[in-house]
Amino acid sequence: MKIGFIGLGNMGAPMAANLAAAGHAVTGFDPAAPCPEGVTEAASVSEAARDAEVVLTMLPNGEILRAVVAEAIPAMSPGAVLCDCSTVDVESARTVAGDAQAVGLLALDAPVSGGVGGALAGTLTFMVGGPEAGFATVAPLFEVMGQKAVHCGGAGAGQSAKICNNMILGATMIVTCEAFALADKLGLDRQKMFDVVSTSSGQSWSMTSYCPAPGVGPQSPADNGYAPGFAAELMLKDLRLAQDAAAMVDADTPLGRAAAELYATFVEAEDGRGRDFSAMLPRFEGRGRT
């Protein structure tokens, strides 16, 4: 397939490289990052998008996505698919989908879970919103870059699924960390805490697959000095997107809001930036009730 790939950062570069290694003709553009091996470098967004059957984007935020899409759309041919894999606000996802549709393109929002490790290994999960025909076209590419793609519904459904998932994750990680810190103060051994909770009704992915306590449970960033993993500032980004979406549709999300506020404090006023999002545990360890 002839693919344009725009945004070759930490995630985009390995995704583009995997597509090229699978035999696709990939033309890439990024104003700052180098082109990975096997990908032909373009001099602009429109050059990367021209004549592509699928244009993939992997960009930092909705504002940049809107600007890139405005440049890509005139270069694309009717029937081609514009597939954004970035994590952006639901409103931007719906706006760019509407703009693309208006000129006969198919648009998908397809944010991912799995991080840089998943991008390198080709084991990402894609959550996809947009028309069935677009999903069918891009499905073989999702298979190269990932292990699972779920078609969630119409435009914006992929971003909606992503932020709801990460709102659950952020709140669950916080409460798992505060429970470990409480257990410490109650004199409960961390391994016993894990043994009980991981097989009881308090269990979650944060406990069983990504345990924030070093030396307990499976290998996780806690065992590596809380080097990310999934950085606290990326969790903050997703929690803010969830709050933006909640405001847009007037949804009451008290725990999501509290999680966003706590990660904002951790990242912007404390030492959370650049640390894994599970480093909430050492944060709570050092604190009392006020």
- Which residue among 3, 4, 5, 12 contacts ligand NAD (CB under 6 A)? 12
- Tell whether residue 10 is a contact of ligand NAD (CB under 6 A): yes
CA quadruple 269, 247, 230, 215: dihedral, nearest 10: 80
Q: Which is nearer to ligand NAD, 230 or 263 (CB)?
A: 230
User: What 3-state DSSP class applies to 29?
Assistant: strand
In the block, tokens 């759309």 appear at: 73
- Which residue among 58, 127, 246, 262 contacts ligand NAD (CB under 6 A)? 58
Instruction: Check residue 80 and report its DSSP letter.
Output: -
CB of 196 to ligand NAD, least distance (A): 31
- Tell whether residue 112 is a contact of ligand NAD (CB under 6 A): yes
User: What 3-state DSSP class applies to 33?
Assistant: coil
Confirm whether 162 is a catalytic residue.
yes
- Tell whether residue 64 is a contact of ligand NAD (CB under 6 A): yes
- Tell whether residue 115 is a contact of ligand NAD (CB under 6 A): yes
- Tell whether residue 158 is a contact of ligand NAD (CB under 6 A): no
Question: Is the bond preceding residue 229 a cis peptide, omega within 30 degrees?
Answer: yes
- Which residue among 52, 68, 110, 207 contacts ligand NAD (CB under 6 A)? 68
Residues 5, 56 contacting (CB under 8 angstroms): yes
- Which residue among 3, 4, 5, 11 contacts ligand NAD (CB under 6 A)? 11
- Tell whether residue 38 is a contact of ligand NAD (CB under 6 A): no
Residues 167, 175 contacting (CB under 8 angstroms): no
CB of 65 to ligand NAD, least distance (A): 8
CA distance 70 to 72: 6
The CA-atom distances, in angstroms, between 123 and each of 20, 59, 118, 231, 238 are: 16, 19, 5, 19, 21
What is the DSSP pairing of strand 54-57 with strand 40-41? unpaired
- Tell whether residue 265 is a contact of ligand NAD (CB under 6 A): no
- Tell whether residue 206 is a contact of ligand NAD (CB under 6 A): no
Binding stretches for ligand NAD (CB under 6 A): 6-12, 29-33, 45, 58-60, 64, 68, 86-87, 112, 115-116, 230, 234, 237
Active site residues per annotation:
162
